[in-house]
A = this chain, B = another copy of it.
Amino acid sequence: MSEMQSARRGRPGYDQQGILAVAVAAFNEYGYDATSIGMLAERLGLSKSAIYHHFGSKDEILDRALDSALSSLEAVVEDEPADAGGGAAGRLERVLRGAVHVLVDQLPAVTLLLRVRGNTDVERTALSRRRTFDRRITALVSAAQSEGALRDDIDASVAARLTFGMINSIVEWYRPGGREGADRLADDVVAIALDGLRKR
């Protein structure tokens, strides 16, 4: 949790996790390209070459962080109990809530993931995994439409993108310890996405 050396013991040494946390925070603050290894070294209280002892390249730091975020998001879809009831619409609602929780719990890594543009191989690989995730969400929306649970006058792909656009935008403003907890936030997202803001 802290920015300093994690658990283990020993006074001076960082491990990969400790460096990773500081690096991801800096990448989110200044942008990946605008964050130099020198800046990371300064924040860590290390020399530049000490960082290269833990990671082979700047790209590799990014790779680790993106993999962490993607694995958590993928787990939301894969570990979802498909037989928990509610059909496809029920599954979709559970996935929406799960995604909000991942965003909140892994805010820095997911924030970084959502800003990736595809400049390098590492970024392109991450984007590819994101697209696979998106397809699964679209399939879920489509199935829920076929069931008759969701309106079908909006294209499933557009509905999925807009809904996850709403969820993903949470990283732009949510800060842990604020007024809304993750559960409340997930309620709000589901309420708007499924029932809308209009009073009835």
A194 to B196, CA, bound (A): 4
If the complex has contacts A29-B117, A148-B199, A199-B148, are A154 and B192 also in contact, measured as CB distance less than 8 A?
yes
Chain A residues engaging chain B, CB cutoff 8 angstroms: 29-34, 89, 115, 117, 119, 141, 148-155, 158-159, 161-170, 172-173, 179-180, 185, 188-189, 191-199
If the complex has contacts A151-B198, A193-B197, are A169 and B180 also in contact, measured as CB distance less than 8 A?
no
6 A-B residue pairs with Cβ-Cβ distance under 8 Å, sorted by A, are A29-B117, A31-B33, A153-B191, A154-B188, A192-B192, A192-B196
- Taking a contact as CB atoms under 8 Å apart, the answer to whether A117 and B170 are in contact is no
Residues of B within 8 Å of A188, CB to CB, are 154-155, 158-159, 162
A165 to B189, CA, bound (A): 11
Residues of B within 8 Å of A170, CB to CB, are 162, 165
- Taking a contact as CB atoms under 8 Å apart, the answer to whether B169 and A165 are in contact is yes
Residues of B within 8 Å of A154, CB to CB, are 188, 191-192, 197
Chain B residue with Cβ nearest A172:
B165
A149 to B196, CA, bound (A): 12
A148 to B199, CA, bound (A): 7
Residues of B within 8 Å of A173, CB to CB, are 161
Chain B residue with Cβ nearest A188:
B154
Residues of B within 8 Å of A168, CB to CB, are 165, 169
